[in-house]
Amino acid sequence: MADTDSLYRELKGDLQTVAEPLFEHACQQVEKRGTFLPVGAKLFSDGEVSLVAAAPEEDATTGDVVLSLLVAALSESAKGADAVALCEWVKIEVGGRKPSDAVKVQAQHKRGLCVAFYIPATKALFRGWQFGDMMVMAADPIINCWPSTDA
């Protein structure tokens, strides 16, 4: 099996394709509302990206409830996809500073690679929300939609 770095270089385009519409949606929602509920996406071999949303039966909800519903929905429905992704509003620590808000997109490819993309966000008093540079790191899969490639 290829090492993680070379697999990322090979699959980076797919992972960015499935993550991009999620980042666009999330950043728009943050600018309007200061937060957002989790949302997901699936990428198919023809390049089509399908957004996935979930809502509980109750009127009031939390991001954790929606996230667990999305994980279950994507695990069940993404078998025909090449990649899946989940987007959520999180707190991260960057460079030893205090925790900061961030948009996180965790993208997972059917070939076994899973990465988390983060875009830090800060609220400026007169300028609204400011988004930082994207960071990427390896992540453990949270969606179980493809057989394991471990030997």
Per-run averaged pLDDT (10 residues), the chain, 151 residues:
81 95 96 93 94 82 87 85 95 86 96 94 89 93 70 37
| Geometric angle at alpha carbon 132, from 126 and 134, rounded to 5° | 160
Q: Where along the chain do its domains lie?
A: 4-138
The pLDDT value recorded for residue 59 is: 74
Residue 49: both structure tokens together: 């990206």
- pTM equals 0.89
Report which of 44, 49, 83, 52 is spatially closest to residue 69, judged by C-alpha positions.
52
- Measured over the CA atoms of residue 93, residue 94, residue 98 and residue 103, the dihedral's sign is negative
Helix (H) or strand (E) holding 41: strand 39-43
The pLDDT value recorded for residue 30 is: 96
The pLDDT value recorded for residue 2 is: 57
| 4-17 per-residue burial string, b: 16 or more CB within 10 A, e: under 16 | eeebbeebeebbbb
The pLDDT value recorded for residue 1 is: 42
* Distance, CA of 110 to CA of 132 (rounded, Å): 29
Are 102 and 118 a contacting pair, CB within 8 Å?
Answer: yes
The pLDDT value recorded for residue 79 is: 80
